[in-house]
Copies of this chain bind each other. A is one copy, B any other.
């Protein structure tokens, strides 16, 4: 496999953006192109992650529209949708296409609008999100995503004694990290007491256990190893794993194992030829506090059942053994669905370049992104290597 590197990265602030998707995406894409010192004419193909623009903006076939807006009409453009794992799957396909020699340089990005700026209220938007749950077996029960992850987390509490205080500690950690990220939607700290006093959204989750609705965009440029001038600023894609699990939820063999994450991680570690202990920094899919606990177990950062202790003990905080979500994660940075996977890679690119400012993890070489879609049905795990020589 030809090695593939990230040579440019850009993203918008996450929050509320009352603008057309093409304009919102262009802000991230132009930053990524500038960062890569690429002109639009240097881009051979465009891979877009967007989960819901048909439902939120009445806007589909979005990839050629965005490419035209960026001055790169004509190239092959593809839109991916895999719920919240959408743009990491676009990234995976872009990397494989470059590795196979199909393209030299590809723009990969994600964009989504989920806030009331779309004109959709909370109830309507919740229904749009819930369209990623099983249409026949989950949606009719009223199960929305706080409920999906509430069920998984409740089972984890039952099996391993995980507590609401441990969940709250994840929120406190990620909010603290978010205060160090100028692009994060939430720039304020919270406390365990404040989390535990919040209204229940879906037991055991209270308001501050949940990520926000967000608008935003993120983009990266990937190219062939041999076309890279400055490898020090161009992390190498060392491994990618992509797996799914049975849907609906009730058919999964184990509610707390998140098997798709375990399978995707195993594949990514094998391709990167590393162990979990080699990972220096990770962005994981903390759509809810409980989801981060399940994720760090599935990724092998802590033993199964031990995830609840990690945030409390500082293991996963900046300065800890394995800093998780230095960006603030979905919880504090925000979660514009189709943009999230690539935004994780933008953060990790910053980290591996040593450009993450106050939230920098020192001397990071291996960085991991974990991006989950649907009722724990799809997971993509990506390992980046910031070491100069592969």
Which residues of chain A have a CB within 8 Å of any CB of chain B?
20-22, 51-52, 54-55, 57-61, 63-65, 67-68, 73-83, 89, 93, 96-97, 99-100, 102, 127-128, 130-132, 134-136, 139, 242-248, 251, 259-260, 263, 373-374, 377-378
Contacts and interface: CB of A to CB of B under 8 A. Distances in A.
Contact of A246 (B73, B79, B259, B373): B73
Interface SS majority for chain A:
mixed
Given A96-B96, A96-B100, A100-B100, 8 more contacts: A58-B127, A59-B131, A61-B374, A63-B244, A63-B378, A73-B244, A74-B263, A75-B244
B60 A81 contact: yes
B135 A76 contact: no
A57 B135 CA distance: 8
B76 A244 contact: yes
A82 B82 contact: no
B246 A135 contact: no
A79 B82 contact: yes
Contacts of A64: 82, 244-245, 247, 373-374, 377-378
A89 B78 contact: yes
Shortest 3 CB-CB distances between A and B: which pairs? A61-B83, A100-B100, A61-B132
A96 to B, nearest CB: 6
21 contacts: A20-B136, A52-B60, A54-B55, A60-B81, A60-B83, A61-B132, A64-B247, A64-B374, A65-B134, A67-B244, A68-B246, A68-B247, A68-B248, A73-B244, A73-B251, A77-B378, A79-B81, A80-B80, A80-B81, A96-B100, A96-B102
B22 A68 contact: no
Contacts of A21: 135
A22 to B, nearest CB: 7
Nearest to A84: B61
The winner among A61, A99, A139 for most chain B CB atoms within 10 A is: A61
A175 B131 CA distance: 37
A373 B76 CA distance: 12
B373 A61 contact: yes
Contacts of A93: 78, 93
Contacts of A127: 58
A243 B51 CA distance: 22
Contacts of A139: 58
A81 B77 CA distance: 10
A73 B245 contact: yes
Contacts of A61: 81-83, 131-132, 373-374, 377-378
